Amino acid sequence: VSSLSGVSSATPTEEMNGAGNLMDFLDEPFPDVGTYEDFHTIDWLREKSRDTDHVKIRNKPTCYHSKESIWELIKSLLDAWSGWVVMLLIGLLSGTLAGVIDLAVDWMTDLKEGVCLSAFWYSHEQCCWTSNETTFDDRDKCPQWQKWAELMTGHAEGAGAYVLNYFLYILWALLFSFLAVSLVRVFAPYACGSGIPEIKTILSGFIIRGYLGKWTLLIKTVTLVLAVSSGLSLGKEGPLVHVACCCGNLFCSLFSKYSKNEGKRREVLSAAAAAGVSVAFGAPIGGVLFSLEEVSYYFPLKTLWRSFFAALVAAFTLRSINPFGNSRLVLFYVEYHTPWYMAELVPFILLGVFGGLWGTLFIRANIAWCRRRKTTQLGKYPVLEVIAITGITAVLAYPNPYTRRSTSELISELFNDCGALESSQLCDYINNPNMSRPVDDIPDRPAGPGVYNALWQLALALVFKIVITIFTFGMKIPSGLFIPSMAVGAIAGRIVGIAVEQMAYHHHDWIIFKNWCRPGADCVTPGLYAMVGAAAGVTRMTVSLVVIMFELTGGLEYIVPLMAAAVTSKWVADAFGKEGIYESHIQLNGYPYLDVRDEFTHRTLATDVMRPRRNDPPLAVLTQDTTTVEDVETLIKDTDYNGFPVVVSRESERLIGFVQRRDLTLAISKMKQDGVVSSSVVYFTEDAPQLPASNPQPLKLRRILNLSPFTVTDHTPMETVVDIFRKLGLRQCLVTRSGRLLGIITKKDVLRHMAQMMNQDPESIMFN
Amino acid sequence: VSSLSGVSSATPTEEMNGAGNLMDFLDEPFPDVGTYEDFHTIDWLREKSRDTDHVKIRNKPTCYHSKESIWELIKSLLDAWSGWVVMLLIGLLSGTLAGVIDLAVDWMTDLKEGVCLSAFWYSHEQCCWTSNETTFDDRDKCPQWQKWAELMTGHAEGAGAYVLNYFLYILWALLFSFLAVSLVRVFAPYACGSGIPEIKTILSGFIIRGYLGKWTLLIKTVTLVLAVSSGLSLGKEGPLVHVACCCGNLFCSLFSKYSKNEGKRREVLSAAAAAGVSVAFGAPIGGVLFSLEEVSYYFPLKTLWRSFFAALVAAFTLRSINPFGNSRLVLFYVEYHTPWYMAELVPFILLGVFGGLWGTLFIRANIAWCRRRKTTQLGKYPVLEVIAITGITAVLAYPNPYTRRSTSELISELFNDCGALESSQLCDYINNPNMSRPVDDIPDRPAGPGVYNALWQLALALVFKIVITIFTFGMKIPSGLFIPSMAVGAIAGRIVGIAVEQMAYHHHDWIIFKNWCRPGADCVTPGLYAMVGAAAGVTRMTVSLVVIMFELTGGLEYIVPLMAAAVTSKWVADAFGKEGIYESHIQLNGYPYLDVRDEFTHRTLATDVMRPRRNDPPLAVLTQDTTTVEDVETLIKDTDYNGFPVVVSRESERLIGFVQRRDLTLAISKMKQDGVVSSSVVYFTEDAPQLPASNPQPLKLRRILNLSPFTVTDHTPMETVVDIFRKLGLRQCLVTRSGRLLGIITKKDVLRHMAQMMNQDPESIMFN
């Protein structure tokens, strides 16, 4: 215990006994010291130890007096519980926003086709709630709901009405998308895209000011509604994660514990991402796993519990708003009545292969297109681009009933099992007249003309969706990728499902069908194929997507088909390239993202990566007691490094600490007002020598010196260095040999080295 | 690129150009170098870079020739896929073992009561499958099944028959438990307990040879069946995790990639733990989350996918064995017909409070008892202890129908909703004669005498289970804790549930019931209360247990009650102490487990923890070129450190590297056979000087020198040091100041310091 008594005198903040005549920076707290600049990476270790300071201050024993003590107690309790309070608030707000978005999208999507006479703010479905027609096709017959042509000309049918409706559909779509892109351009440029690549980068420790701001939240919510309603091939799921993260950031600012610590803030944001997925699909567990698998970088166990809490609150807030009008939590509710058979694994795996190929094609084509947009004239006309794509989408989508409706409705219908009451085209089977089975257990039947018709239309829809999604994702409007990807997979799945079903019906005697498909049995469920295809369509989100699907169906029975397809899809896509769409977009933007998944297996050493390289000028260092203020200013002016190592002397090159450029600039500009001149000597030592009064006043800067900089030896394998950077979230690391400072490795150096090793352009990493 | 060309010459393994006359250790590979001793901690960073070597060798470009090339290709493919193959094998074997255990337990539990006349190897349930009585109580009437008294005396009823059955029940129980404890004592002492504390420690990087061996696997499987069948208050869930991990370890030895790398092996074991929980509860997703939340230490994303795969395979293997005879995957299948109401959250939270208190009581009492066992004479008679506890359990359990049957059957019955066909005592309600509702929707009814009787018996069972479980867990037989904990919670829950139900029935007009419970409605489901209570009973496994429960019920509806109870339980327990039962047992055994969850928030610095302390003898170091073989041998003899830092010279104290004691011993004993004598100088430098032939042959040991030892400065906060130890899995870390070596911090030092800071006995950490 005796050794512990000497501790406190050595800790920086209690080191108050500096020489009185010295200018000692940070005697009083100075606001900006220890913060980061925009587009820079945070230092996780530093943030973590700052959080401890916060906890310490909270737990500090004080003598309480009556009133104050209660207030103190409440404050300290609130501080201890603030994590859960923030989660509750995030859950409530993101659930509410998701509900509002769902309702608005419903209404505006239907507005493109017609209007409700009884109340214009009703969507088609709400308008017809009073009538008894509940099936999909009969909805149209509800008298309160009028299509535009009927309202304007009185004629509901005929070529003229069709053309008028077609025209107005396009007009509305163009109006919505124009509004969306204009709002984004004018008010919040960060509101575009899905947001997930940037959130991944932010969670890994990057700073993008305003990306999760209030304006972004507001504009993204509004423009998301407009973008989805305009009928473009995009989903609201990705942007909802961004919206939830904005909520998280908003509530962080209420508590100093989170607003002042970039590390703690990122814990909250991880949980907010889980809440976002939770409301997007109505799948809280899937949301937590998504945050864990796909988005988060640093995910302590505490975050697991809190994410789960936030995801649950969000899901139940959404359910109490009940936007789907069925008090179901999930986006696509399905219930199948037949099990799957081993032989069906073959088509399921084929769907997985298709999903993997589609994923690869999409990533390659989309990245190529986005690169072209970035590098050519095209990028200068984002409004025009959005208008053009919306126009093309609307013109091509309207004639095909499967592309005209919203994508989530399409997926819903594709997932559906054909019950006895189903009247959609996809369920137009030729019924066996002497059928006397219960409604749930309908045997396989031959397809009617409606089904064949639907197959053609679905095939066209598939090609259309594949092509248009490639051009849509990456435009300057909010756009998610889940729903279009799932739609492509679901269409392919349903087509395969119907094909297998008809084969099984017409060829009972084939060996492959003989064992499990007797005549008159219900063996193949095309809806299940659609679901499996959808899971395979969203490549590389293996576990979380399977869990989401599992939450949708609420049963473990279909987990094997889903898993088989999802894993096949991942394997096929991995064979063509390891990078997912989010990583590709991160790379396209040059963000410094050190992927946890990339395995670094090259045999380079720290000495190969560190700067200065051979023939470079020597490393810019400060000495502990011989540098003047002028030297420091020159160094800051001449270089753009983010920090400087401090050594004992230039000869011995023994490392003392590391000082941040930002802190140094702040300190000097502050202290210059207090009488420090250019010829003043800067001291990083514990005690400065007593100088004669004639000498300029020295400047003591030990307070801003990081006395525990991270070091590795020059012989350390880069693999270990990469691992350390990843796990500890370092910003830079100093390289030594036998105690001598040799050089420095920054996160950017690591990323550039990794890019070089993978034969990519190292200059693509732009930020530090 | 030019800087990269110089790389390969610097990497240790290609450094073949040593001076010819030098004895250079490791010219050829030497088997034991780089391995660890028993009861020591591994170095994760080192294991990781060794894995890279493996990958490198695999990917090495070679010129293939016809036959060889195909074989090489197959080998490299197999190596790349070995991860998935191991998972498949683990899933298959652990699923099979779980199925066999289930069947055997079923049969042997029933054997205590009677025997099947048609085939003695049938359990009671299997015996009566042919008869039509399906409900629980009618089972007894099946003529093939005879109780022992009936078989031996011909009288099924009467006091004599009861006493005879009672006696034989006790006899069988004693026989089973005696067999179990003897087998464990004689063949595999590691097979006792739940195994989870040790597995946690092993996964965190500790070595316990034989803990996951073949013998342990075999004996644990057999004795688990005996222990569970003996009627003791223990479950098979924890031991199943141990069994699955043994399977994992077994299959690791088939692939050199896993058998030779302790880090990779632990990835496989994490996945195996998930498979174990998956088969224990039939909940694959819950299993993965359990592994993530409770067991694993280092859980990369790749492990997430593989765990999920292993868990799925295991679950489906178990299902195809179908031990429960109902083709249900889950252990307790429940289906409720009524939703829950907001007001019910109050009793649910009360159940959470009860669960938290029970958890705290259990941990404290059990640890106190285990400590007493360890320190007193009691520990010397494990067989007697088991026999005594079994005797007491059997004597007290038989008269009460709720403790006589197996604990999982009890939980099943408590979870059950009282349908119209249910004939158990718990469902003895007074029926409304003019009831004409569908069978699934039975309104709340007044309780009959059976229910009141059951309440008394349940209350006694609750007290009995609480007391006996405290003494059972920790005995020298396989014993899991999930099922007893769940049982305690479920009993409390069912009692509360019936109480609320009867209150709601008799006091419809009370304000709290008025809003949601009209007369004649079915508002309260006591089975749901049992489930919520069970979730609260297993304190601190918040997320994974809720997910397991969610998988059991297959619906999201009850996730809020479950979560509310589980989180309340956790909070209440945390208020009394942060440590879970597994952590407490780890501490009791003195294992070096650095918990990821413990937050270290003290303000000590590395300098306070490092050795040598003030007044200690100086740090034991080797110099790079002045130490003789004799010096090294003396150092090894005089100290018991696991490794020694190597410095340039004793004067400058500048660090070169770190050498492991084990490697040093191996190298010297090997090289002594090759002509090295005691006065030979040991060189750790790159080149040894050319010495005259008269001098003794020098020994070059650079190959076993770790050139990238981990260092921190003496000013580094201990919080950062703890974080580094945790995240990088270090074994030791050297402390420097301005490039000079000051001391060393080992994992044991860190743990002792943490114990000291928490006012615990630092001497309790025994291993390094």
What is the token pair recorded at B214?
């073949």
- More reliable by pLDDT, B312 or A767: B312
B597–chain A Cβ distance below 8 A for any pair: yes
Residues A144 and A173 sit within 8 Å (Cβ to Cβ): no
Q: So what's the pLDDT on residue B175?
A: 95
Write down the residue that tokens 């999903």 correspond to. A355
Measure CA B324 to chain center: 25
What is the token pair recorded at A117?
């006479």
Q: So what's the pLDDT on residue B441?
A: 54
Q: Which residues contact A601 (CB under 8 A, 6 or more apart)?
A: A719, B52, B55, B56, B59
Among chain A residues, CA nearest to B615:
A3
Same domain? For A544 and A657 the reply is no
Q: Considering only A188-197, B7-16, B451-460, which range has the smallest mean pLDDT?
A: B7-16
B-chain CB neighbours of A607 within 8 Å are 10
Q: So what's the pLDDT on residue A10?
A: 36
Same domain? For A752 and A696 the reply is yes
pLDDT level of residue B352 (50, 70, 90 thresholds): very high
Q: So what's the pLDDT on residue A384?
A: 92
Residues B572 and B362 sit within 8 Å (Cβ to Cβ): no
Contact B308 A543 (CB under 8 A): yes
Among chain A residues, CA nearest to B329:
A556
Q: So what's the pLDDT on residue B679?
A: 84
B-chain CB neighbours of A724 within 8 Å are 728
Q: Considering only B25-29, B174-178, B384-388, B418-422, which range has the smallest mean pLDDT?
A: B25-29
pLDDT level of residue A246 (50, 70, 90 thresholds): very high
Same domain? For A574 and A633 the reply is no
Average of per-residue pLDDT across A670-679: 78
Q: Is 60 exceeded by the pLDDT of residue B16?
A: no
Dihedral sign, Cα of residue B576, residue B577, residue B583, residue B586? negative
Q: So what's the pLDDT on residue B420?
A: 61
B254: CATH: 1.10.3080.10
Number of domains in chain B: 3
What is the token pair recorded at A404?
């005209």
Average pLDDT, chain A: 82
Q: Which residues contact A666 (CB under 8 A, 6 or more apart)?
A: A30, A32, A33
Among chain B residues, CA nearest to A710:
B712
Contact B607 A707 (CB under 8 A): no
Helices (H), B517-645: 526-537, 542-553, 559-576, 581-589, 606-609, 629-638
User: Which of B560, B449, B445, B452 is CA-nearest to residue B501?
Assistant: B445
- CA-angle at A608, arms to A604 and A612, nearest 5°: 165
pLDDT level of residue B670 (50, 70, 90 thresholds): confident
Q: Considering only A42-51, A106-115, A195-204, A411-420, which range has the smallest mean pLDDT?
A: A42-51
B654 min Cα distance to partner chain A (Å): 5
A293 min Cα distance to partner chain B (Å): 7
Q: So what's the pLDDT on residue B230?
A: 92
The model's pLDDT over B530-549, given as tens digits with 9 standing for 90+, comes to 999 998 888 776 678 878 87
How far is the C-alpha of A606 from the C-alpha of A744, rounded, in Å? 9
Average of per-residue pLDDT across A40-47: 77
Return the residue in A1, A3, A725 with the most chain B beta carbons within 10 A, the one to mutate for interface testing: A3
Q: So what's the pLDDT on residue A31?
A: 61
Q: Is residue A165 part of a domain?
A: no
Same domain? For B316 and B357 the reply is no
Same domain? For A65 and A209 the reply is yes
Same domain? For A629 and A572 the reply is no
Partner-chain residue, chosen from A312, A542, A607, that has the shortest CB–CB distance to B563: A312
**Cα pseudo-dihedral A354, A360, A361, A364, rounded to 10:** 180
Q: So what's the pLDDT on residue B416?
A: 83
Q: Is residue A13 part of a domain?
A: no
- More reliable by pLDDT, A125 or B486: B486
How far is the C-alpha of A416 from the C-alpha of B230, rounded, in Å? 50
β partners of residue A34: none
Average of per-residue pLDDT across B661-683: 82
Q: Is residue B130 part of a domain?
A: yes
Q: Which of B589, B623, B642 is the last residue of a domain?
A: B589
- The CA-atom distances, in angstroms, between A213 and each of A244, A248, A269, A653 are 11, 10, 13, 44
Q: So what's the pLDDT on residue A250?
A: 93
Average pLDDT, chain B: 82
- More reliable by pLDDT, A494 or B424: A494
Same domain? For A582 and A639 the reply is no
Among chain B residues, CA nearest to A307:
B543
Among chain A residues, CA nearest to B46:
A720
- Within 609-668 of A, beta carbons closer than 8 Å to B belong to 613-614, 648, 652, 654-657
Neighbour-count burial of A669, counting CB atoms closer than 10 A to its CB (0-12 exposed, 13-18 middle, 19+ buried) = exposed
Dihedral sign, Cα of residue A292, residue A296, residue A299, residue A302? negative
Q: Is 60 exceeded by the pLDDT of residue A367?
A: yes
User: Which of B518, B511, B523 is CA-nearest to residue B344?
Assistant: B523
Average of per-residue pLDDT across B495-505: 89
Q: So what's the pLDDT on residue B353?
A: 95
Measure CA B322 to chain center: 25
Q: Is 80 exceeded by the pLDDT of residue A451?
A: yes
Q: So what's the pLDDT on residue B226?
A: 95
- More reliable by pLDDT, A116 or A388: A388
Burial state string for B164-191 with b = 16 or more CB within 10 A and e = fewer than 16 = bbbebbbebbbebbbbbbbbbbeebebb
Q: Is 70 exceeded by the pLDDT of residue B52?
A: no
pLDDT level of residue A362 (50, 70, 90 thresholds): very high
How far is the C-alpha of A103 from the C-alpha of A416, rounded, in Å? 22
Q: Which of B560, B589, B618 is the last residue of a domain?
A: B589
Amino acid found at B8: S
Q: Is residue B371 part of a domain?
A: yes
Contact A597 B301 (CB under 8 A): yes
Domain of residue A49: give its range. 42-112+172-331
Same domain? For A319 and A350 the reply is no
Q: Is residue A241 part of a domain?
A: yes
How far is the C-alpha of B491 from the C-alpha of B473, rounded, in Å? 19
B648: CATH: 3.10.580.20
Contact A542 B316 (CB under 8 A): no
Q: So what's the pLDDT on residue B384?
A: 93
- Within 43-82 of B, beta carbons closer than 8 Å to A belong to 45, 48-49, 52, 55-56, 59
Q: Is 80 exceeded by the pLDDT of residue B765?
A: no
Question: What is the three-state SS of B55-93?
Answer: HHHHHCCCCCCHHHHHHHHHHHHHHHHHHHHHHHHHHHH
How far is the C-alpha of B190 from the C-alpha of B2, rounded, in Å? 56
B607–chain A Cβ distance below 8 A for any pair: yes
Q: Is 70 exceeded by the pLDDT of residue A555?
A: no
Average of per-residue pLDDT across B510-525: 74
Residue B651 C-beta-side C-alpha neighbours within 13 Å: 1
How far is the C-alpha of B508 from the C-alpha of B485, rounded, in Å? 34
Residues B246 and B216 sit within 8 Å (Cβ to Cβ): yes
Q: Is B327 left (phi over 0), alpha (psi -120 to 50) or beta?
A: left
Q: Is residue A467 part of a domain?
A: yes
H helix or E strand, kind and range, residue A422: none
Same domain? For A504 and A624 the reply is no
Q: Is 90 exceeded by the pLDDT of residue B462?
A: yes
Residues B650 and B623 sit within 8 Å (Cβ to Cβ): yes
Give the pairing type, strands B682-683 and B655-660.
unpaired
Q: Considering only A128-137, B88-97, B104-113, B496-505, which range has the smallest mean pLDDT?
A: A128-137
Contact B608 A3 (CB under 8 A): yes
How far is the C-alpha of B319 from the C-alpha of B96, rounded, in Å? 9
Percent of chain B clearing pLDDT 90 (strictly above): 25
How far is the C-alpha of B385 from the C-alpha of B392, rounded, in Å? 11
Q: So what's the pLDDT on residue B31?
A: 61
How far is the C-alpha of B561 from the C-alpha of B349, rounded, in Å? 8
- More reliable by pLDDT, A474 or B13: A474
Q: Is residue B281 part of a domain?
A: yes
Q: Is 70 exceeded by the pLDDT of residue A433?
A: no
Using DSSP's 3-state secondary structure scheme, residue B743 falls into strand
Q: Which of A331, A351, A385 is the last residue of a domain?
A: A331
Q: So what's the pLDDT on residue B442?
A: 63
User: Which of A321, A237, A249 is CA-nearest to residue A278?
Assistant: A237
Q: Is 90 exceeded by the pLDDT of residue A50?
A: no
B-chain CB neighbours of A608 within 8 Å are 3-4, 6-7
A309–chain B Cβ distance below 8 A for any pair: yes
Q: Is 80 exceeded by the pLDDT of residue B516?
A: no
Contact B52 A6 (CB under 8 A): no
Same domain? For B351 and B491 the reply is yes
Q: Considering only A167-176, B61-70, B759-768, which range has the smallest mean pLDDT?
A: B61-70
How far is the C-alpha of A70 from the C-alpha of A67, rounded, in Å? 5
Average of per-residue pLDDT across B567-584: 86
Residues B552 and B373 sit within 8 Å (Cβ to Cβ): no
Q: Considering only A134-148, A301-315, B661-675, which range has the smallest mean pLDDT?
A: A134-148
Residue A756 C-beta-side C-alpha neighbours within 13 Å: 16
Partner-chain residue, chosen from B301, B305, B716, that has the shortest CB–CB distance to A708: B716
Average of per-residue pLDDT across B351-373: 93
Residues B658 and B705 sit within 8 Å (Cβ to Cβ): yes
Write down the residue that tokens 């800071």 correspond to. B757
Same domain? For B418 and B496 the reply is yes
A550–chain B Cβ distance below 8 A for any pair: yes
Average of per-residue pLDDT across A603-624: 87
Average of per-residue pLDDT across A724-732: 86
Same domain? For A254 and A361 the reply is no
Q: Is residue A127 part of a domain?
A: no
Q: So what's the pLDDT on residue B136?
A: 46
B699 φ/ψ angles, rounded to the nearest 5 degrees: -115, 120
Residue B747 C-beta-side C-alpha neighbours within 13 Å: 27
Helices (H), A473-554: 482-506, 511-514, 526-537, 542-553
Q: Is 80 exceeded by the pLDDT of residue B444?
A: no
Q: Considering only A418-422, A628-632, B281-285, B367-371, which range has the smallest mean pLDDT?
A: A418-422
Q: So what's the pLDDT on residue B198?
A: 92
Q: So what's the pLDDT on residue B248?
A: 95
Percent of chain B clearing pLDDT 70 (strictly above): 86
Q: Which residues contact A287 (CB under 8 A, 6 or more apart)?
A: A273, A274, A275, A276, A277, A278, A279, A280, A281, A307, A311, A315, A544, A548
